[in-house]
A and B are shown apart, each in its own frame.
Chain A
């Protein structure tokens, strides 16, 4: 066993660069070729290792600010439009859809905030972004926030309900630092954003949808909570119900 001249085609199949017919042809070859099977294993192993997030390189926030600032301060009218602005139309469609599904979509949910939540959720899905502190133990995650926030976010262990805790991180939303807790529902991550909202007491969950993501908002004991996920609505509602009943 030395070589196979189809290895680069197998790689192209792996990288999604072939059309369906080509991919089927090369997959058939691969099934019968031990060299190409070993090649596929190598490709998959390299991808798994490289994409697990440990190689993610974060820019220092100060450096990013320094690069972005000239376009904001020197040219106040020249700020790039926020993404939600461009997507306001699709938000309206999402809202109409939500209403037609008899969901309780609160009109008071600012599109800007909803967009920021979903953007933040999407950003967190990039490798290495989901958690700053990685732990399934709430007794590790909760103290991690000490000194980083001016409030103590509730951190609950939801593993028994089928939503294991993945960890936590700090985010900046609604003009303030907030706690983001990451949970898993099978392969779907859930981001739970928490910040204090004095005077709200407790409010019932309200649901919104945006760009295929489901967002549920409620309040508990003066804390605003926002769960964001690509889960089906039922599953995210189950998560919220489990969270609210968890100790």
Chain B
């Protein structure tokens, strides 16, 4: 039986981060609660094998796995082809300089579209972006949580940011 005191002090400080990641991975607040609950149970179970180190990354990795499990179960989500597409050999596209990115995003936010734009990003791009911009994790921590090499994290982050801006700019032209 893991020591509940030390588990609580390791895991509970990261509940907000856990919930935020779960919400942005599942796209739903209800599912996020299920995922966080499942993740905390798993964390308690795995806790004896936690070797110290970065508690937040450890918790978020469990949350991520629980979220992917829930998504696979409920939607038959295909994760592999997307990863190949996302991380494949395509060049790192520069941005379209034709439109002011900040203005486009600002107007998307005014239309309350920002949340939807983020939700429409491919999940592997979205999670990198959420971990970086909302949780302010370092590349190394994101790599740990998402079990991807740092180079992949960098490439996903760039694509996520560019796609978000491009989607906001496209929204303008409709």
Contacts and interface: CB of A to CB of B under 8 A. Distances in A.
Interface string A2-38: 1111011001100101000000000000000011001
- 9 shortest interchain CB distances as A-B pairs: A45-B101, A45-B102, A49-B105, A50-B133, A71-B8, A80-B9, A46-B161, A78-B5, A59-B19
B-side binding surface: helix, strand, loop or mixed?
A: helix
Contacts of B9: 80-81
Q: How large is the interface on B (under 10, 10 to 19, 20 to 34, 35 or more residues)?
A: 35 or more
Given A2-B94, A3-B91, A67-B36, A46 B101 contact: yes
Contact of B102 (A7, A44, A68, A70): A44
8 contacts: A1-B97, A45-B102, A50-B134, A52-B109, A54-B109, A68-B12, A68-B15, A79-B8
B68 interface: no
A38 B94 contact: yes
Interface string B1-24: 000110111001001100110011
A47 B133 contact: yes
Given A1-B97, A55-B118, A67-B40, 6 more contacts: A3-B92, A38-B94, A54-B115, A57-B24, A67-B15, A71-B8
A41 interface: yes
A51 interface: yes
Contacts of B16: 59
Interface of A: 1-5, 7-8, 11-12, 15, 17, 34-35, 38-39, 41-52, 54-57, 59-60, 63-64, 67-68, 70-71, 74-75, 78-81, 127
Contacts of B95: 38-39, 41-42
Contacts of B114: 49-50, 54-55
A3 B7 CA distance: 48
B5 to A, nearest CB: 4
Interface stretch (B45-53, B59-67, B74-82, B152-160): B152-160
A127 B130 CA distance: 13
Contacts of A5: 92
